[in-house]
Amino acid sequence: LGMQGPITQSEVRVRYAETDQMGIAHHTAYLVWCEVARTDYLRSQGIAYRDLEAAGLRLPVVHAELTYRAAARYDDVLVIRCWVSQAASRKVVFAYDISRPADQRLLATAQITLMAVDSQHAVTTLPAQVLGRLVVAGGRARR
């Protein structure tokens, strides 16, 4: 809806603990990497997720969709790009792609929806200031 938030880039290296006996990164690891990227996205916008929680806000995942195109392997360096694809007062949808610079392959894409709840897990709304920062390019709202 005319949102112009940034695209952030996060880097992870595949950990041995993340592999499975197929010799590839287990499919749950991609969700964890997306979560790492989401923390980085928020930080880039001047939002520390740990502060949101300290203020009583929780952002549990309510929907996740992942498409796996090629396998990540142990010790691979991966880049996760993250952006906000939709934002409303109670929900934010983050989109991701995960690629491997070494061979320029796109390994996976994901869309993950978070809902705002309070510390009792009742649905709430995102504070306007947080919502505003989520979708402002370059975090300029931080002025």
Q: What are the tokens at 69?
A: 């195109």
# residues contacting a second copy (CB under 8 A): 38
* Interface stretch with a second copy, choices 61-69, 88-96, 123-131, 132-140 (CB under 8 A): 61-69
Residue 20 annotated to the active site: yes
Q: Binding pattern to a second copy, positions 63-102, x when CB under 8 A?
A: xxxxxxx-x-xxx---------------------------
- Minimum Å gap between C-beta 2 and a second copy is 27
CA gap 33, 107 in Å, rounded: 12
H helices of 9-127, in order, are: 27-44, 49-54
CA gap 4, 88 in Å, rounded: 14
CA gap 63, 115 in Å, rounded: 9
Q: What are the tokens at 123?
A: 């649905």
User: Which positions are annotated as active-site residues?
Assistant: 20
Residue ranges binding a second copy (CB under 8 A): 13, 15-17, 19-24, 26-28, 31-32, 35-36, 39, 48-50, 53, 58, 60-69, 71, 73-75, 121
